[in-house]
Structure 1
Amino acid sequence: MIKEFREFIARGNVIDLAVGIIIGAAFTSIVNSVVEDLINPILGLLTGGIDFTNKYIVLSGTVPDGASLAAARNSGAAIFAYGSFLMAVLNFLIIAWAVFLLVKVVNRLQRAALRQKVEEPAPAGPTQEELLAQIRDLLADRATMADYPLPRP
């Protein structure tokens, strides 16, 4: 069983998956920072700090007016918390947009690196005239060798 486990872990797919998960976790922190530290403050400034998280409708039961969502949930009333859902959807869209922009930047950098690699001059080889001269010299050597055939045993 230990041998099978070692073989399983040593497979390329498992290692690739582990690396992907680790990179994904690191990338998640970058995306979260972009969203929380850069995008959300700008959106808050543009929207006047609107936060839908505490918006809800009481379906049944009683909740004091102006109570927070947490207080409404603790009161035991049936709550339709549409604000939390709207904020989750909005956060998802913001994160998806941030990931899209980051992937777009990475793709642009990769294309630029590839373009730069392609634009590098190829090593200079012999010119067409030099190649023709080499062929001529080889043919001349072959013709000279034909004038002096090797004796047959």
Structure 2
Amino acid sequence: MSRESPTVLEGFKAFLMRGNVIDLAVAVVIGAAFTAVVNSVVKGVISPLVGAFGTSQLDSYKSCFKAPCAVSASGDVTSGIYILWGSVLNAVLTFVITAAVVYFLMVLPMAKYLARKAAREQTLEEETAEAEAAEVALLREIRDILLAQRGSGHSS
């Protein structure tokens, strides 16, 4: 049996050891931890601020869609249909806060960094091009001087 092609396990190991798979795993773990932080901020700060205008629990905001609406002592809906718009508001706030934090703390600084890096690279390329142009001009002058000396040497 020849060992020309890798085995399934070797291929799987190579797949797992690629940088992008490990980066993705790290991103998922960090994202989960970040979600917990954002949820805590929404629950501990945003919800009470919104609650200053109503209730402190956004999840308790609801409207009766089909009457009569009744809820048991345990919180289960016994009759009617509720629209739980407080839960939706809570999810939207969590999403907006997460998106804002990701944008302002990660995307925007990285974009500025990449723009500065590109500007530095372009400046370096321009300086290199100017140096090459000056070198070419100097070499032409040397060539012209050598041709002039050779030409004057033959005519003497």
Sort the TM-score into its range (normalised by shorter chain).
Answer: 0.5 to 0.7
Q: Residue in 1 aligned with 2:34?
A: 27
Query: 1 or 2, which has the higher strand percentage?
Result: 2
Displacement, 1:18?
1.3
Read off the aligned partner of 2:54 and give its amino acid letter: G
Q: Residue in 2 aligned with 1:88?
A: 87
Q: Residue in 1 aligned with 2:107?
A: 107
**CA 1:16–1:109 in structure 2 vs 1: closer, same or farther (change >3 Å)?**
closer
The 1-side partners of 2:42 and 2:13 are apart by 40
The 2-side partners of 1:40 and 1:143 are apart by 86
Q: Deviations over 1:11-56 (max 9, x none)?
A: 44532331221121122123223322332222122x2325452867
The 1-side partners of 2:26 and 2:32 are apart by 10
Read off the aligned partner of 1:90 and give its amino acid letter: L
Q: Is contact 2:61–2:85 with CA below 8 Å preserved after alignment? A: no
**Identity among equivalent pairs (%):** 28
Q: Does 1:135 align with 2:155?
A: no
The 1-side partners of 2:134 and 2:89 are apart by 68
Q: Residue in 2 aligned with 1:58?
A: 70
- SS state at 1:132 partner: helix
Q: Deviations over 1:97-133 (max 9, x none)?
A: 1122123313332333334445559355549667523
Higher RCO (CA < 8 A, seq sep 6+): 1
Q: Residue in 2 aligned with 1:48?
A: 54
Q: Residue in 2 aligned with 1:122?
A: 123
The 1-side partners of 2:81 and 2:96 are apart by 25
Q: Residue in 1 aligned with 2:23?
A: 16
Could you state the TM-score of these two structures normalised by the residue count of structure 2?
0.58
Q: Is contact 2:47–2:56 with CA below 8 Å preserved after alignment? A: no
**CA 1:95–1:136 in structure 2 vs 1: closer, same or farther (change >3 Å)?**
same
Deviates further, 21-30 or 118-127: 118-127
Could you state the TM-score of these two structures normalised by the residue count of structure 1?
0.59
Q: Is contact 1:54–1:68 with CA below 8 Å preserved after alignment? A: no
Could you list the runs of 5+ residues in structure 1 that have no partner in the other structure? 149-153
